[in-house]
Amino acid sequence: MKAFRGEILSVPDDPAVVGTEAIRHFDDGLLVVEDGLVLACGPHRALSEKFADVPTEKLDGLIVPGFVDAHVHYPQIGSIASHGEQLMQWLERHIFPAEKAFADRAHADSIAAFFLDELLRHGTTSALVFATVHPGSIDALFEAALQRDMRIVSGKVLMDLGPEGLRDTVSTGRADTEALIARWRGRGRLGYAVTPRFVPTSSEEQLADAGALLTEHPDVLMHTHLSENPGEIEFVASRFPDAADYLDVYDRFGLVGPRSVFAHCVHMSDRALSRVAEAGSGIAFCPTSNMFLGSGLFDLARADRHGVRIAIGTDIGAGTSLSVLHTLGEAYKICQLKGASLDPFRALHLATAGGARVMGIGDRVGALLPGQEADFILLDENSTPLLARRCSGASLHDRLFALQVLGDDRSIAATYLRGAKVHR
């Protein structure tokens, strides 16, 4: 058993729904960890007597749950900041060539290791990750995540209509998916997601088979893209002229349910948003990616009116930072452009417990509640002179907001997985 003493903040519930009661803040708090799990978390004065004999480390900074990145592509990490295109042309020109290299397992191993170390350096402890069409890309990612004891959910990409060199078939897609689920089920903190890339790269037969896989394996997620970019949406509408909208195509094949996570959803009808909410699916809001590819501005307030579950995604390599802090600052700006305001406590909720819930791991991580895995980070408000100046003497609300607007990987003083320090 060990304990950490310092300022602790977590937001287990959505403040937009339950109000300020959602915020758990202890100026001088104690986080007690046993066997990697949170045993207690509360004010030091209330817990210090009971845990007086437990070795306690004093942490200087703000302790918050580790970040949850609910949409990110590890094979695209080296393609970040590729200039000049919107989604469909960007994929052709920059991304598909980079993903083809993952046929080589050694390449996949080296990128997976780099990617996961970068996540930890940026304070991200759980992620829902796109790999490539190659089953080896999943073995590489899962082996690296197992070594680091990270909570990672991913799946081989299904794309039987993909370009030459990045194409599976309905039958190889199914066989590889089944084999990967069997090989990795129950190991470490890993989870599987059936992952059709998006409608343009899968046949109707493959989409139907993805729906069947989801039904046959009640412990897996479904992870894909939805209504991201105007060019993509036009393409889907021309292929399925009788579908009510893009979401309706997924719905026809049994891919819309409580285990489904849809990245983007920038251009959504009220019908589609209400269907997502009714199905209990989650949306990964990816602000930096949506601006970088010129896709559009996600309407969080509108999604809220429908009661949709929201998570935050960096969407590297279309996203421009692996920092969830920075991503929250950009989310704030998009909400401003849509005439709404994103509260910093709510932003933290979406990037921790909210994202964990969307990923189906809300009982395990995200809120530092007793029984949860002790994945947490230490935020440093003095990481830059400007941040230090803005935070000096400021309220918790203003400090948290300043961290989101001015902070990035420099503000992550340390990252802990199950109570063990893994970065800095």
Classify burial at 306, counting beta carbons within 10 Å of its beta carbon; exposed 0-12, middle 13-18, buried 19 or more. Answer: middle
Q: What is the DSSP letter of 221?
A: E
Bond before 317 cis per omega within 30 degrees: yes
Pick the stretch among 24-32, 102-110, 248-256, 309-317 that binds Zn ion (CB under 5 A).
309-317
Under rule CB under 5 A, which residues in 99-138 are in contact with Zn ion? none
In a 3-state reduction of DSSP, which class is residue 417? strand
| Residues 210-269 within binding reach of Zn ion (CB under 5 A) | 263
Q: Which residue number, 263 or 335, has a Cβ lying nearer to Zn ion?
A: 263
How many Å apart are CA 251 and CA 269, to the nearest integer? 15
Shortest approach of Zn ion to residue 225 CB, angstroms?
Answer: 6
Binning the chain into helix, strand and coil, the percentages to the nearest 5 are: 45, 25, 35
Is 275 strand, coil or helix?
helix
DSSP 66: P
Helix ranges (DSSP H) in 185-266: 204-216, 230-239, 246-252
- Which CB sits closer to Zn ion, 315 or 373? 315
Q: Please report, for residues 36, 58, 234, 313, the alpha-carbon distance to residue 250 in angstroms, rounded to integers and kept in the order given.
A: 39, 50, 16, 21
Task: Tell me the closest approach of the beta carbon of residue 163 to Zn ion, in angstroms.
Answer: 17
CB of 227 to Zn ion, least distance (A): 12
Nearer to Zn ion, 160 or 315 (CB): 315
Q: Pick between residue 225 and residue 418 the one whose CB is nearest to Zn ion.
A: 225
Cβ nearer to Zn ion, comparing 132 with 411: 132
Q: Which stretch binds Zn ion (CB under 5 A): 237-245, 311-319, 370-378, 393-401?
A: 311-319
Shortest reach from residue 202's CB to Zn ion, in Å: 15
Q: How distant, in Å, are the alpha carbons of 80, 85, 88, 251, 298 from that of 92?
A: 15, 10, 6, 27, 24
Is 69 a binding residue for Zn ion by CB under 5 A? The answer is: no
**Packing angle between helix 396-406 and helix 324-337, nearest 10 degrees?**
100
Q: If binding is defined by CB under 5 A, does position 14 make contact with Zn ion?
A: no
- Indicate the residue whose CB is closest to Zn ion: 315
Residue from 176, 251, 315, 373 touching Zn ion (CB under 5 A): that is 315
Whole-number minimum distance, CB 130 to Zn ion, in Å? 6
Give yes or no for a contact between 286 and 315, defined as CB atoms under 8 angstroms apart. Answer: yes
Binding mask 258-287 for Zn ion (x = CB under 5 A): -----x------------------------
Of 44 and 197, CB closest to Zn ion: 197
- C-beta of 261 vs 263, nearer to Zn ion: 263
Give me the least distance between CB of 106 and Zn ion, in Å please. 25
Spatial separation of the C-alpha atoms in residues 206 and 211, rounded to whole Å: 9
Q: How far is the CB of 338 from Zn ion (least distance, A)?
A: 21
Nearer to Zn ion, 99 or 315 (CB): 315
Q: CB 315 → Zn ion: shortest distance, Å?
A: 5
- Nearest approach, Cβ of 367 to Zn ion (angstroms)? 26
Distance CA 365, CA 376 (A): 9
Contact between 144 and 137 under an 8 Å Cβ cutoff? The reply is: no
Measured from the CB atom, is 316 or 403 closer to Zn ion? 316
Site size toward Zn ion, by CB under 5 A: 2
Which residues are near Zn ion by CB under 5 A?
Answer: 263, 315
